[in-house]
Amino acid sequence: MSACPKILSQHFDVPNAHKIEVYCSRGGYTSARKVLTEMGAEQVIEEVKKSNLRGLGGAGFPTGMKWGFIPRQSKKPCYVVINADEGEPGTFKDRYILCLDPHALIEGVIIACFAVKSHKAFIYIRGEYVEPVRIFRGAVEEAYEKGFLGKGIFGTDYSLDLIIHVGAGAYICGEETALLDSLEGKKGFPRLKPPFPAVKGLFNSPTVINNVETLACVPHIINKGAEWFSKLGCEKNGGTRLYSVSGHVKKPGLYELPLGTSLKEIIYEHAGGIRQDLILKAVIPGGISSSILKANEIDIRMDFNSLAAAGTMLGSAGIMVMDETTCMVKALLVATRFFAHESCGQCSPCREGTGWILKIVERIWEGKGRPQDLDNLIDISQNIEGNTICAFGDAAASPVISYIKKFRGEFEHHIKTGSCDLVEAALK
Amino acid sequence: MIKNSDFTYQYKLELEQIMSQYETKRAALLPVLNLAQEKYGSLSPEIEKAAAEYLDLPLMQVREVVSFYTLYHTKLKGKYHFQVCRNMSCHLLGCEEIIEYLKTRLSIDVGEDSEDGRFSLSTVECLGACEIAPMMQLNDRYIGPLTKESMDEILSKILSEQKI
């Protein structure tokens, strides 16, 4: 079993960890103070670059490099936007940070804003997170009262405001440019890139958008050094990762482990293995958008590069486990229903394609499948892929292609017999 | 009946505080609508009009935002709004059974409200709490893992007006 350094989750079990006194008593805000009083902006960016911290919302883009893209001489204000939309099914890590260690996030925000010379940050929290919003709002108020936010932070001439913006229910707003449109009071429609947000983002100004988990890592990097952080992970993937594990495991929950921990180890050693000791059938490794893995493919390192090489992705590290009782047709129906429901409707291939896919999968599930349905599903999916403004189209296509590719026999059987007796047989 | 001016008049201070945080008037639209729904329970055409006037926006821009986001509703929900998650982890652990059971116990279908205005039942796509699947949001609270027994307990508390 991998050693389990508690970095992001080290305060989770501490009583009242969300209170500023508790956070400060455990060394909190010393990194932000150090940055503001002893370091320069470029030095902070260099340190984050050296740490090999990558965006943990799903895309995995190097964080220091992203900060470095902000034009240094821009006359416009620069904004930092924290993506706390967390809508990827299978993922619940950011909720834990917001509720159990909100000051680590606020400290990360202060450091990020200082590094890119921003004086205003917006955190976009999904509307369903009523309790996390309440807790985080309390933490922000505490930080203002202590003088860690507002004017003249830590006795310097640096000032920063952090605004909490609550969303209203739309998965697409987790996509960074859709989030910006939503923050500007519009429907959450993704924008064409370029221009990238670093050049033209919120209110047409240079903008950095980072995920909650990413920013919560930053104080630890400053505190213990980039080298320490980079060594926690693997090549080009610094730090640990919060893995959200759910589905047919004995101990669903949030597990902090090094990047690159084996998926098999996470399921069988940390999450306790498969419920009732049934046989594993499949695993979604990185949220519902990631391609599915068969049981014999889980001996794999959970890092961005290893999963990409296996044709899937680490994404949000939301691991969903399926045992032998799972009907893959029904599972695909659940996934396609989600994408059809959440397509923003801006691009025709996605708007029309996701609805069309859903109709076909529903038909198969209802026992009215046709022999040509599977090839049609693949064809429609491949025609969505790469033909939309944002990555949602690709995300909608990948489950369809991977479920059919890996469980084609089961889909064909379902079309032929109109039933799920393969699953029933597995249980006999 | 809410008049256009009531909302902006009654909640003037809160609205001014919201407006002060944003660079453009339009950017305040979601927080303004969130506040209105919190105060009135739903977003009526009068509220949409009041928000449009307050933010100097065409009514259509307000309406398209209201219809885009799933948390906005234009009709009042029941006093107890059951929103059962039906995405993958909740599906794998039996949310369909939970939904069927709730339909029977509440005597309403998904998407319906009870005639006495007490209950509403909805299904939702992922609430970000897969570790407690199958789960639901009951008004503001997340509850899970759900079983028929735990739902009986919740319902008996509601029916006897106890705190959940």
Q: What is the pLDDT, as a whole number, of residue A256?
A: 96
pLDDT at A161 over 70: yes
Mean pLDDT along residues A346-354:
97
User: For an interface test with A, which of B29, B97, B122, B130 has the most A Cβ atoms less than 10 Å from its Cβ?
Assistant: B130
Q: What is the pLDDT, as a whole number, of residue A175?
A: 96
**Of A136, A140, A182, A179, nearest to A162 (Cα)?**
A140
CB-based contact B88 A342, cutoff 8 Å:
no
Confirm or reject contact between B87 and chain A (CB < 8 A): yes
The shortest C-alpha distance from A370 to chain B (Å) reads 25
When pLDDT is cut at 50, 70 and 90, the band that residue A427 belongs to is low
- Kindly list the residues from chain B whose CB atom is less than 8 angstroms away from the CB atom of residue A171: 125-126
Mean pLDDT (chain B, rounded): 94
**Of A191, A196, A182, A212, nearest to A88 (Cα)?**
A212
What are A308's two structure tokens?
């990409």
pLDDT at B87 over 60: yes
Q: What is the pLDDT, as a whole number, of residue B161?
A: 76
Nearest neighbour of A185 by CB, restricted to B29, B125, B132: B29
Burial class (CB in 10 A: 0-12, 13-18, 19+), B16: exposed
- Kindly list the residues from chain A whose CB atom is less than 8 angstroms away from the CB atom of residue B92: 247-248, 320, 322, 326, 331
Nearest neighbour of B27 by CB, restricted to A170, A184, A335: A184
Alpha helical stretches, state H, A234-303: 263-265
User: For an interface test with B, which of A173, A246, A420 has the most B Cβ atoms less than 10 Å from its Cβ?
Assistant: A246
- Kindly list the residues from chain B whose CB atom is less than 8 angstroms away from the CB atom of residue A91: 128, 130
pLDDT at A304 over 70: yes
Share of chain B above pLDDT 90, in %: 90
Residue written as tokens 């834990």? A96
pLDDT at B2 over 70: no
- Kindly list the residues from chain A whose CB atom is less than 8 angstroms away from the CB atom of residue B93: 247-248
More confident residue, A5 or B4: A5
Yes or no: say if A321 and A274 are a contact pair by the CB < 8 Å rule: yes
Q: What is the pLDDT, as a whole number, of residue A63?
A: 95
Nearest neighbour of A89 by CB, restricted to B68, B88, B131: B88
Confirm or reject contact between B138 and chain A (CB < 8 A): no
**Of B132, B136, B121, nearest to B86 (Cα)?**
B136
pLDDT at A33 over 70: yes
- Give the pLDDT confidence of A75-108 residue by residue, as tens digits: 899 999 999 999 999 999 999 999 999 999 999 9
Confirm or reject contact between B69 and chain A (CB < 8 A): yes
Which residues have C-beta within 8 Å of that of residue A236, sequence separation ≥ 6? Answer: A52, A54, A304, A305
Share of chain A above pLDDT 70, in %: 98
Share of chain B above pLDDT 70, in %: 96
- Give the pLDDT confidence of A260-274 residue by residue, as tens digits: 899 999 999 999 999
pLDDT at A195 over 60: yes
Torsions phi, psi of A243, nearest 5?
-95, 125
pLDDT at A58 over 70: yes
CB-based contact A183 B27, cutoff 8 Å:
yes
The shortest C-alpha distance from B137 to chain A (Å) reads 9
- Give the pLDDT confidence of B126-163 residue by residue, as tens digits: 999 999 999 999 999 999 999 999 999 999 999 887 77
- Kindly list the residues from chain A whose CB atom is less than 8 angstroms away from the CB atom of residue B87: 89, 288, 334, 338
Mean pLDDT (chain A, rounded): 95
pLDDT at A423 over 90: no
Mean pLDDT along residues A321-342:
97
When pLDDT is cut at 50, 70 and 90, the band that residue A4 belongs to is low
Q: What is the pLDDT, as a whole number, of residue B137?
A: 97
User: For an interface test with B, which of A83, A276, A283, A334 has the most B Cβ atoms less than 10 Å from its Cβ?
Assistant: A334
Mean pLDDT along residues A357-382:
96
When pLDDT is cut at 50, 70 and 90, the band that residue A141 belongs to is very high
- Kindly list the residues from chain B whose CB atom is less than 8 angstroms away from the CB atom of residue A246: 89, 130-131, 133
When pLDDT is cut at 50, 70 and 90, the band that residue B5 belongs to is low
pLDDT at A331 over 90: yes
- Kindly list the residues from chain B whose CB atom is less than 8 angstroms away from the CB atom of residue A278: none
- Give the pLDDT confidence of A251-262 residue by residue, as tens digits: 999 999 988 899
pLDDT at A12 over 80: yes
pLDDT at A346 over 70: yes
With CA atoms as reference, the chain A residue closest to B87 would be A334
Q: What is the pLDDT, as a whole number, of residue A5?
A: 80
Yes or no: say if A287 and A307 are a contact pair by the CB < 8 Å rule: no
Q: What is the pLDDT, as a whole number, of residue A60?
A: 85
Confirm or reject contact between B30 and chain A (CB < 8 A): yes
Mean pLDDT along residues A381-386:
96
| Orientation of helix A408-417 relative to helix A328-342, angle to 10° | 100
When pLDDT is cut at 50, 70 and 90, the band that residue B164 belongs to is low
pLDDT at B60 over 60: yes
Confirm or reject contact between B129 and chain A (CB < 8 A): yes
Mean pLDDT along residues B92-97:
96
Q: What is the pLDDT, as a whole number, of residue A59?
A: 83
Yes or no: say if A399 and A381 are a contact pair by the CB < 8 Å rule: no
When pLDDT is cut at 50, 70 and 90, the band that residue A3 belongs to is low
CB-based contact B91 A330, cutoff 8 Å:
yes
User: For an interface test with A, which of B56, B68, B127 has the most A Cβ atoms less than 10 Å from its Cβ?
Assistant: B68
More confident residue, B93 or A427: B93
When pLDDT is cut at 50, 70 and 90, the band that residue A234 belongs to is confident
- Nearest-10 Cα torsion for A120, A123, A124, A127: -130
CB-based contact B131 A244, cutoff 8 Å:
yes
